[in-house]
Structure 1
Amino acid sequence: MPRTALFVIDIQNELAGHPQTEVPGAARIRSAGSQILRISRALADAAAATPPEEQQNPALTVFVQHEESPESGGTLVRGAEPWKLVFPPREDAVDEILIAKTTQNTFESNPDLADRLQNAGVDHIIAFGLQSECCVAETCKGALAAGFRLTLLQGAHSTYDDKQKTAADIERQIEEMLVSRGAEVVPWDSAVSRWETAGVVC
């Protein structure tokens, strides 16, 4: 049975957990992420308690964590407070994995990741997180290039304002770009409602 992977991209303290450095929409991202993970985990737990012959294939949740070298001058150094995840994986959850990366594209940083996902039955990736035009966009493009169906959760990704555009403008631009490449963009709350109806992240 086809399986979905839910990518939680770079929701780290630097970007969404420290008022001095977080993106303007951090509170929205934390709220959306909390509700998305609450439902996806509830569905995974329900699947685990279901007899194998009745189970739907539960989603694999992939927590992506960016890291920088101390020499780079960046703040996302392994072990540092800004590097830590706002939503860490559950230690006892077999369907939650942590993936480190050093480039914007998670698949580029992890050349075996596409094969690992496909071997686990994954054909569809649902993504949300930070930052829209950087690691979210590049990881989504990497997923499409690897042959996965891709859904981006609208309202659950964001970034910083820049000199020319607001974060909301950048979010819309990235959504339009990904749709032009074959992705689906769905409001995160609509997606969660669909999962609850289906009984599985899909």
Structure 2
Amino acid sequence: MMKNALLIIDVQNGMFQEGNVVYKGKRLLQTLKDLIEKARSNETLIFFIQHNAPTGKPLEHSTRGWEIHPEITPNPQDVIIQKTTPDSFYNTSLDDELKKQGIEHLIIAGIQTEACVDTTCRRAFSLDYKVTLISDAHSTWDSQDITAQQIINHHNGVLRWFADVYPSNDITFDS
């Protein structure tokens, strides 16, 4: 059986700023907490991907906004990967860390649906990982033209070319 890892992308304080909270932010945090608990109870490794933005941006390195949201605080055995682009693999140690742990299957959640989540799913697929996208555990914001829910629905459909797409209730971490 394949060895799994849960990837949680960019769930940082800056994504939950008052007046500009990611779509269904409270529900997203609860879903992630449940997934983390399920993963830990099955001894599944958890990777937290943390974006480092330039000075003045909500995810500026070493600011409160950059910190991983306190409702999903990593444990010492979790791996934290720093990144500076939407691709969680580009110029990071993610692929090396996954290989070192023998991980073959990535279960992906986080923020932002159409940027970091999308790019990481596609890149993981191109690197020959089995990929599962958790359909109700990623989020974004409304754009000028379409709602956050429409963006999420669209990506759940499009990313089926690169990942199995399942709701959180269907996710198991058996390895």
1:145-176 CA distances to partner (integer Å, 9 max, x unpaired)?
11101000011101001121111110111112
Q: Could you say which residue in structure 2 is the equivalent of 1:13? A: 13
Q: Could you say which residue in structure 1 is the equivalent of 2:130? A: 149
Q: Whole-Å Cα distance in 2 between the matches of residues 28 and 109 of structure 1? A: 31
Q: Could you say which residue in structure 2 is the equivalent of 1:74? A: 57
Give secondary structure in 2 for the equivalent of 1:150: strand
Shift of residue 69 of structure 1?
2.5
Q: Is the 8 A contact 2:15 2:58 kept in 1?
A: no
Query: In percent, how many aligned pairs have the same letter?
Result: 29
Larger Rg: 1
1:90 has 2:75 as partner: yes
Alignment-mate amino acid for residue 53 of structure 2: E
Q: Whole-Å Cα distance in 1 between the matches of residues 146 and 134 of structure 2? A: 21
TM-score norm. by structure 2 comes to 0.92
Runs of 4+ in 1 over 2 A off after TM superposition: 18-21
TM-score norm. by structure 1 comes to 0.80
Q: Could you say which residue in structure 1 is the equivalent of 2:23? A: 24
Unaligned runs of 5+ in 2: none
1:105 has 2:90 as partner: no
Q: Whole-Å Cα distance in 2 between the matches of residues 63 and 164 of structure 1? A: 31
Q: Could you say which residue in structure 1 is the equivalent of 2:40? A: 41
Moved more, 75-84 or 155-164: 75-84
Q: Whole-Å Cα distance in 2 between the matches of residues 63 and 117 of structure 1? A: 12
Count of equivalent residues: 173
Q: Whole-Å Cα distance in 2 between the matches of residues 76 and 82 of structure 1? A: 5
Q: CA RMSD in A?
A: 1.5
Shift of residue 34 of structure 1?
0.9
Shift of residue 76 of structure 1?
1.1
1:64 has 2:49 as partner: yes
Q: Is the 8 A contact 1:104 1:135 kept in 2?
A: yes
Alignment-mate amino acid for residue 83 of structure 1: W
Q: Is the 8 A contact 1:13 1:22 kept in 2?
A: no
User: Which one has a larger percent helix, Structure 1 or Structure 2?
Assistant: 1
1:131-153 CA distances to partner (integer Å, 9 max, x unpaired)?
10011111111111111010000
Shift of residue 20 of structure 1?
2.4
Q: Whole-Å Cα distance in 2 between the matches of residues 66 and 43 of structure 1? A: 27
Alignment-mate amino acid for residue 169 of structure 2: D
